[in-house]
């Protein structure tokens, strides 16, 4: 006997509920994950959209099972209802399972799409490993000190061209002594953040105690130890967060207060944070407002910050060969008197594949720093010192001009990645593929396998692609010549397919 079927239950209704769950997955769970990846304090992220998603997902599964259980062999009229023959149990199970599987895959895809840029754009562009400490400490570097100070935009502040990040200070055996040694050698700009490492603020406090505060430039972020403040936080919350950071660092004011790791124009232009900064300025607790971004939405955020006229400092991911429009953004910001602090200056693209680079490895960091500082629109760069050797190695690049041998080092590095490194912000080739293969994702997964040595992850990610490079086997390659970086796309794609399957 067929299971009783309500008149309102239909396959169309089930489809609509799954579509609603898909939308809720993108907005609700995807939005939550996106904000967590951005670094927002989880206690501040509303859970209602995620709960709505969970409710719709459960509804979709239950209704799918119910609908499948009431399937019949064919469509009939109401008068024939008593004579219909129910579908077999196997058919019901297979139909219901297929519907649920398809729905779950769709919902998972929508959720992942919300945060895909962090993996395909930001992670691929700055997440690689490269040389950070030379295997050879040269005698010539011994005792290196800051040789140049630059204006921080129109702030009136002069900052050391190479400056201290605080992310890894606590990894040094004597972090306070280590930071003091940096300051003694002329570093005067310290970049802090409560969410980097809780230990860093106390290290800074101990190191700057007794020093002339007016000779130091201290930057921090609107963050707690749990993450960044979310847009819509109250003016009082913004102010209290900054005041707490001042207390922990033992200072009456910070020179720069950043909206940190900003991927959202809404968060960038939140009226409450701007009002909070205005009040903090009036009280002498904050001097200038900044924004830091190395996110998928970097270009939009940076341009919005410039257009707003509200920011005096921008901290941007910037390294040799970085995003194609990066130069224009930096130039435009500098024309508005905005100080540019460069971060992520050691280009991450290759690691395990750099055997041929070993001869010049001792000079890579210095060449990379000099390249960044060769741009007169850059005020300084921030790098995370943590190894005692960094005092000599990193500071040796201060005040030095980019020389032909430095360019040779960077060119050799780029030659090693030429035709292999896909700049994920580009996307110029994607519209040329008739099979809609995500070329940038395939090449990124190959990079994970070939250069980062993470074969398992690479193969797993490749297996998840809806369309992989197998389509290239019988394709006449309209993508050929479509890469601004001259990557031989078909050749690399076929190699990736062989490597990852």
**d(Cα 402, Cα 273) in Å, to the nearest integer?**
39
**d(Cα 316, Cα 363) in Å, to the nearest integer?**
23
State the pLDDT at residue 136.
Answer: 65
**Cα dihedral 468, 472, 478, 484 sign:** positive
In tens, the pLDDT along 347-360 reads 654 434 444 455 45
State the pLDDT at residue 74.
Answer: 46
Q: What percent of the chain has pLDDT above 70? A: 78
Q: Tokens standing for 321? A: 């060969």
Residue in 223, 175, 164 with CA at minimum distance from that of residue 199: 175
State the pLDDT at residue 289.
Answer: 96
**Cα dihedral 355, 357, 359, 363 sign:** negative
Gyration radius (Cα) of the chain, Å: 27
Burial-class residue 293 by CB neighbours within 10 Å (0-12, 13-18, 19+). Answer: buried
* Alpha carbon 127 to chain centroid, angstroms: 8
State the pLDDT at residue 451.
Answer: 57
- Alpha-helical (H) ranges within 285-402 are 298-308, 326-335, 364-373, 388-395
Residue pair 361/135 in contact (Cβ under 8 Å)? The answer is: yes
In tens, the pLDDT along 180-230 reads 999 999 999 999 988 777 789 999 999 999 999 999 999 999 888 777 677
**d(Cα 185, Cα 395) in Å, to the nearest integer?**
8
**d(Cα 474, Cα 418) in Å, to the nearest integer?**
26
Pairing of strands 313-317, 339-343: parallel
Residue pair 489/429 in contact (Cβ under 8 Å)? The answer is: yes
Residue in 188, 220, 227, 219 with CA at minimum distance from that of residue 35: 227
**d(Cα 387, Cα 355) in Å, to the nearest integer?**
23
pTM: 0.65
State the pLDDT at residue 80.
Answer: 47
State the pLDDT at residue 68.
Answer: 79
- Alpha-helical (H) ranges within 44-88 are 48-69
State the pLDDT at residue 353.
Answer: 42
State the pLDDT at residue 122.
Answer: 52
**d(Cα 443, Cα 428) in Å, to the nearest integer?**
14
State the pLDDT at residue 473.
Answer: 85
Q: Tokens standing for 239? A: 């102010």
**d(Cα 426, Cα 105) in Å, to the nearest integer?**
27
Write the DSSP string, 274-312.
Answer: HHHHHHHHHTTSEEEEEEEE-STTHHHHHHHHHHHT--S
Longest dimension (CA), the chain: 97
Residues of the chain falling short of pLDDT 70: 1-5, 36-39, 72-94, 96, 113-136, 228, 294-297, 321-324, 347-363, 414-427, 444, 447-448, 450-454, 457, 485
Pairing of strands 286-293, 313-317: parallel
State the pLDDT at residue 279.
Answer: 97
Residue in 60, 32, 130 with CA at minimum distance from that of residue 451: 130
Q: Which residue has the tokens 């800051």?
A: 146
Q: Tokens standing for 52? A: 């709505």
**d(Cα 293, Cα 290) in Å, to the nearest integer?**
10
In this structure, the number of other CB atoms found within 10 A of the CB of residue 85 comes to 10
Residue in 340, 325, 356, 291 with CA at minimum distance from that of residue 423: 325
Pairing of strands 162-165, 217-221: unpaired
């Amino acid at each position: 006997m067929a299971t009783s079927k309500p008149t309102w239950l239909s396959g169309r209704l089930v489809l609509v509920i799954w579509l609603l769950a898909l939308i809720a997955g993108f907005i609700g769970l995807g939005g939550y994950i996106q904000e967590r990846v951005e670094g927002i304090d989880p206690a501040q992220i509303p859970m209602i959209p995620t709960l709505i998603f969970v409710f719709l997902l459960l509804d979709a599964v239950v209704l799918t099972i119910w609908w499948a259980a009431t399937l019949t062999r064919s469509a009939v009229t109401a008068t024939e209802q008593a004579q219909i023959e129910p579908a077999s149990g196997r058919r019901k199970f297979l139909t219901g399972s297929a519907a649920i599987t398809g729905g779950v895959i769709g919902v998972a895809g929508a959720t992942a799409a919300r945060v895909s840029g962090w993996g395909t754009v930001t992670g691929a562009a700055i997440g690689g490993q490269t040389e950070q400490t030379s295997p050879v400490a040269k005698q010539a570097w011994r005792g290196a000190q800051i040789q140049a100070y630059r204006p921080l935009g129109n702030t009136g502040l002069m900052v050391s061209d190479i400056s201290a990040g605080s992310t890894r200070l606590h990894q040094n055996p004597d972090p306070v002594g280590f930071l003091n040694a940096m300051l003694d050698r002329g570093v005067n700009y310290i970049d802090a953040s409560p969410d980097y490492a809780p230990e860093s603020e106390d290290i800074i406090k101990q190191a700057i105690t007794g020093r002339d505060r007016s000779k130091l430039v201290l930057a921090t972020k609107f963050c707690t130890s749990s993450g960044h403040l979310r847009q819509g936080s109250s003016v009082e919350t913004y102010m209290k967060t900054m005041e707490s950071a001042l207390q922990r660092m033992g200072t009456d004011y910070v020179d720069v207060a950043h909206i940190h790791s900003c991927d959202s124009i809404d968060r960038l232009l939140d009226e409450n944070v701007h009002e909070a900064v205005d009040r903090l300025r009036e009280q002498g607790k904050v001097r200038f407002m900044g924004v830091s971004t190395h996110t998928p939405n970097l270009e939009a955020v940076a341009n919005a910050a410039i257009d707003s006229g509200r920011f005096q400092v921008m901290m941007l991911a910037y390294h040799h060969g970085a995003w194609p429009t990066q130069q224009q953004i930096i130039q435009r910001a500098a024309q508005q008197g905005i100080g540019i602090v460069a971060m992520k200056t050691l280009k991450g693209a290759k690691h395990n594949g750099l055997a041929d680079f070993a001869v010049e490895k001792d000079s890579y960091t210095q060449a990379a720093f000099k390249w960044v500082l060769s741009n007169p629109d850059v005020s300084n760069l921030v790098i995370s010192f943590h190894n005692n050797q960094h005092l000599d190695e990193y500071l040796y690049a201060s005040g030095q001009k980019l020389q032909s041998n430095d360019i040779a080092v960077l060119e050799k590095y780029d030659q090693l990645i030429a035709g292999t490194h896909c700049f994920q912000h580009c996307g110029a080739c994607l519209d040329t593929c008739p099979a809609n293969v995500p070329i940038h994702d395939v090449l990124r997964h190959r990079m994970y396998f070939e250069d980062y040595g993470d074969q398992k992850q690479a193969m797993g990610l490749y297996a998840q692609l809806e369309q992989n490079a197998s389509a290239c086997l019988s394709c006449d390659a309209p993508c050929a010549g479509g890469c601004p970086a001259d990557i031989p796309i078909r050749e690399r794609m076929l190699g990736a397919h062989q490597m990852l399957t």
